[in-house]
Amino acid sequence: MSRDLKNAQRWVIKIGSSLLTNNGQGLDLPAIEAWVKQLLVLRRHGLEIVLVSSGAVAAGMERLGWTSRPSALHQLQAAASVGQAALIQVYNEFLRRGGVHGSQVLLTHEDLQERHRYLNARATLRTVLELGVIPIINENDAIASTEIRFGDNDTLAAMVANLLEADLLVILTDQAGLYDQDPRKAPDARLLTEVEAGDPALLSMAGGSGSAVGTGGMSTKVHAASRAAQSGAATIIAPGGAEDVLLRIWAGEPLGTYFRPGVAKLAARKRWLAGQLRPNGVLHLDAGAAKVLREKGSSLLPVGITAAEGDFQRGDLLCCVDPEGQEIARGLVNFAYEDVLLRKGKSSKTLLELFGDIDEVEIIHRDNLVLSN
Binding site as annotated, residues for ATP: 14, 173-174, 215-221
Q: Which residues are annotated as a binding site for substrate?
A: 54, 141, 153
Q: Which residues are annotated as a binding site?
A: 14, 54, 141, 153, 173-174, 215-221
Furthest C-alpha separation in the chain: 73
Instruction: Give residues with Cβ within 8 angstroms of 111, minimum separation 6.
Output: 117, 118, 121
Instruction: Give residues with Cβ within 8 angstroms of 171, minimum separation 6.
Output: 14, 16, 154, 157, 221, 224, 225, 235, 236, 237, 238
- Cβ atoms of 289 and 304 within 8 Å: the answer is yes
Query: What backbone phi and psi angles, to 5 degrees, belong to 346?
Result: -100, 145
Query: What backbone phi and psi angles, to 5 degrees, belong to 318?
Result: -125, 150
SS3 assignment for 51-116: EEECCHHHHHHHHHCCCCCCCCHHHHHHHHHHHHHHHHHHHHHHHHHCCCCEEEEEECHHHHCCHH
Distances (CA, A) of 237 to 41, 63, 174, 181, 217: 20, 30, 10, 16, 12
Give me the amino acid identity at 349.
K
Instruction: Give residues with Cβ within 8 angstroms of 40, minimum separation 6.
Output: 95, 98, 100
> Angle, nearest 10°, between helix axes 218-229 and 153-164?
10
